[in-house]
Amino acid sequence: MIFPCIDLMDGKVVQLVQGREKALEADSPDEMLHRFAAFPEIQVIDLDAAMGRGSNGDLVRAIASKAVTRVGGGVRTVERAQELIEQGARKVIVGTAAFAATGANVPFLEALCNAIGRERVIIALDSKAGRIVIKGWRESTDLTAESVLEALAPYCSGFLCTYVDKEGMMSGTDLDWFRRLRAATPLEITAAGGITTLEDVRALLAIDVHCALGMAIYTGRLSLEKLVGLLQARH
């Protein structure tokens, strides 16, 4: 599966480099949905909510009403996750709140699964310099993605694994890291961060890892038509 990404900040569709520097503003959400119409599912991240400085709730609601979506960004309460599902999100991506100082935040994750169902939960494993980062990638933990997969697995249907070191830099990703993650869990894995070429995409799909694509499609490095062709060839 290939998921085009719609990242929202200040009411606009944007792309950031390593979660900090805004590299570009794109067309309106409606225009992006039109461009992404051939893809079965869209990934939507509310960056303002992730960074704790507001929200793009109306836009998220509008997008979720028009497309099949997995939505994340600032989902730090069970109520917020329920709200997203009610707004139309098919799955909810949870990052910061999934972690306690020593590993999985089990009380929160249990409550979340009870509220919306394990099958609707995706846990974000955002990794920078080998460590999981939280709070909009601004705070590093002592945890590695590989070390927490097993503990988190009972509380989600899959993982969104972002290689933050390469996010938005258009310089390729760390395929070896994704291979290690793939070997460590039977659950769905979606790769993000630095995926730049069709070869990257093919290599990830070949090991049964999904791809979430941002900068490479917004800048035209990856052709939407070729990506759709790749998906169709696999079915």
**Closest residue by Cα to residue 165 from 200, 195, 135, 203:** 195
Maximum CA pair distance of the chain? 44
What pLDDT, on a 0 to 100 scale, did the predictor assign at position 170?
64
- State the residue for tokens 């009380």: 107
Catalytic site includes residue 165: no
What pLDDT, on a 0 to 100 scale, did the predictor assign at position 168?
64
The residue annotated as part of the active site, out of 7, 46, 48, 200, is: 7
Mean pLDDT by 10 residues, the chain (235 residues): 94 83 84 94 93 90 94 93 92 94 92 97 93 82 90 97 78 89 96 93 96 93 92 80
β-bridge partners, 124: 160
Cα angle 199, 234, 29; round to 5: 75
| Alpha helices, DSSP H, located in the chain | 29-35, 47-50, 57-66, 78-87, 106-116, 145-152, 175-184, 198-206, 215-218, 224-233
What pLDDT, on a 0 to 100 scale, did the predictor assign at position 3?
96
Catalytic site includes residue 7: yes
β-bridge partners, 100: 103
What pLDDT, on a 0 to 100 scale, did the predictor assign at position 136?
75
Number of domains in the chain: 1
- State the residue for tokens 């309106």: 28
Range of the domain at 46: 2-233
The residue annotated as part of the active site, out of 46, 48, 126, 200, is: 126
The number of C-alpha atoms within 13 Å of 222 and in the hemisphere containing its C-beta is 29
Q: Which residues, 6+ apart, have CB-to-CB distance to 138 below 8 Å?
A: 19, 51
* DSSP label of 121: E
What pLDDT, on a 0 to 100 scale, did the predictor assign at position 94?
96
What's the rounded Cα separation, in Å, for the pair 134 and 223?
31
- The tokens of 54 are what? 């507001």
What's the rounded Cα separation, in Å, for the pair 183 and 189?
11
Q: For position 69, which CATH number holds?
A: 3.20.20.70
pTM of the predicted model over 0.85:
yes
**Closest residue by Cα to residue 224 from 7, 2, 1, 63:** 2
